[in-house]
Each structure stands twice: as C-alpha cells, then as structure tokens.
Amino acid sequence: MSRTKTSKAWLQEHVNDHYVHQAQKDGYRSRAAYKLLEINEKDKLLKPGYWVADLGAAPGSWSQVAKRLVGQQGRVFALDILEMDPLPGVEFVQGDFREEETLTRFTELLQGRLVDLAICDIAPNISGMAVIDQARSFHLCELALDFCRDYLKPGGHFLVKTFQGSGYTEFIQQMRSEFASVLTRKPAASRDRSNEIYLLGKGKK
C-alpha cells in the first residue's frame, strides 16, 4: 500500500474513531486518556494524594487523567523531550530523562520524596523499519524501568506501554525481577490492529 493510501486510511479511521470524538468532548488532549482510565478502573492505580511521574507525557492526556484522580493533595510530574502545553496542577520538565541535567531538575521537584506510581505511554519516533522501531521502543521501556529503580517507592506501581515482538519476553523478565507481580493489559481504546500491550508492575520490591 502506498504511503498516500496508508495516510488516507489512517485519517479515515481517526475521523471515525469513537475515542477521538470522546476525547474532544471530554477535553482530553488525545484518545490515549481512555486507555489509562480503563486500566485504572480495573486496577485502581491512581488514588487521591498520590505522587505520579508521567514519562513521555506529551501531549498530556495521561497527566490530565492522573491529576484529576490524585486531586489537590496529589502531585503529577510530567517529563518529555517534546514541548507540552501547560496543564493546571501538572509540573512539567522538558528534557531527555536519559540526561543527568533533566533528572536533576526532576529530583529538585520531588524534594527528597519518591513517587507512588510511574506511568509511561512513550513511543519512539517511528522509522518504518520494524526491527529498529522495536529495539528503540524497548530501549525506552528499559530507561523507564531504570527510572523506577531510583524514583519509585517500595510497593509502588509502574504502568508502561510495550509492543509484542522481539524483546518483549526479556523485558517482562526484567520487570518481574523488580516487582511482586507483572500483569498484561490491553484496553479497549487500543486499536485492534495495534500490537501494543501495557505491562503493569505492581508492588516494587
């Protein structure tokens, strides 16, 4: 299929997408909000007063959901290499969380405290070459897991988007070494043709 036909097919799907319309109606920045809402409905991850780190946060729909559910007593810290328009009550650090300077700015916001929950809906820039994209995706997942080792409190939870394929089984093993249990979640808002699957690490060891 040509790029033009593929783009047209994506646009047609996007225009007719129930979750896209619902996001516009509910004021969320993207349809991804409903993935987090559905997982949270099942697993009760976001609680009033929680401190949450949203890694790869732009455009910000997961931060919107998180802030609404943790309430005034909770705090949401969003990180992304991309710009993100400000969100009320969300503290945003723009930068690459692989870099020391970005992490220093983040730790200053935390004031010595660890977060209760880390969420990560990050995806690499797509090259179109499946092997490269898969490797980049899991590299980002591993960086997010490294982040949890340093900034997630014992007993805390971690939700991350992965893609089934090369590296998936190995990454689950890495998560199992860090968390008491690792669950898979495929929310209804994930497009059927997508091989994305969310891994939920519960109870950091």
CA Rg value for the chain:
17
Q: What is the share, in percent, of the chain residues with pLDDT greater than 90?
A: 70
> Which of 1-10, 71-80, 132-141, 155-164 shows the lowest per-residue confidence on average (mean pLDDT)?
1-10
Please name which of 200, 190, 194 lies closest in space to residue 17, comparing C-alpha atoms: 190
Q: In whole angstroms, give the CA distance from residue 22 to residue 18.
A: 6
Q: What is the pLDDT of residues 89-123, one digit of tens each?
A: 999 999 988 888 998 999 999 999 999 999 999 87
What's the whole-number average pLDDT of the chain?
A: 90
Q: What is the pLDDT of residue 33?
A: 95
Q: What is the pLDDT of residue 3?
A: 52
Residues 6+ apart with CB under 8 A from 87: 60, 63, 64, 67, 78
Give the span between the Cα atoms of 60 and 54, in whole angstroms: 9
Cα–Cα separations (whole angstroms), residue 185 to 63, 69, 116? 19, 20, 20
The 10s digit of each residue's pLDDT in 13-43 is: 554 578 888 888 888 999 899 999 999 999 9
- Strands, DSSP E only, in 48-189? 51-55, 75-80, 90-94, 115-120, 152-163, 179-185
Tokens of 164: 């089934």
Write the CA distances from 137 to 3, 18, 49, 143, integer angstroms: 22, 27, 31, 10
Instruction: Sketch out the chain's domains with CATH numbers.
Output: 30-204 (3.40.50.150)
Q: Which two tokens stand for residue 137?
A: 């995706």
80 labelled binding-site residue:
yes
Say how far apart CA 203 and CA 180 lie, in whole Å.
5
Cα separation, 153 vs 160, whole angstroms: 17
CA dist 53 and 147 (Å) reads 10
Binding site annotation covers 60? Answer: yes
Catalytic one among 161, 202, 204, 205?
A: 161
Residue 161 annotated to the active site: yes
CB 162 within 8 A of CB 182: no
What is the Cα–Cα distance from 77 to 90, expressed in whole angstroms?
6
Per-residue pLDDT for 1 more than 50?
Answer: no
What predicted TM-score, i.e. pTM, was given to this entire model? Answer: 0.89
Does 121 show up as a binding residue in the annotation?
yes
Q: Which helix (H) or strand (E) holds 10?
A: helix 3-15
Q: What is the pLDDT of residue 43?
A: 98
Residue 4 confidence class, pLDDT cut points 50, 70, 90: low
Share of the chain above pLDDT 70, in %: 91
pLDDT at residue 171 greater than cutoff 60: yes
pLDDT at 132 over 60: yes
What the block records as the tokens of 182 is 């690792």
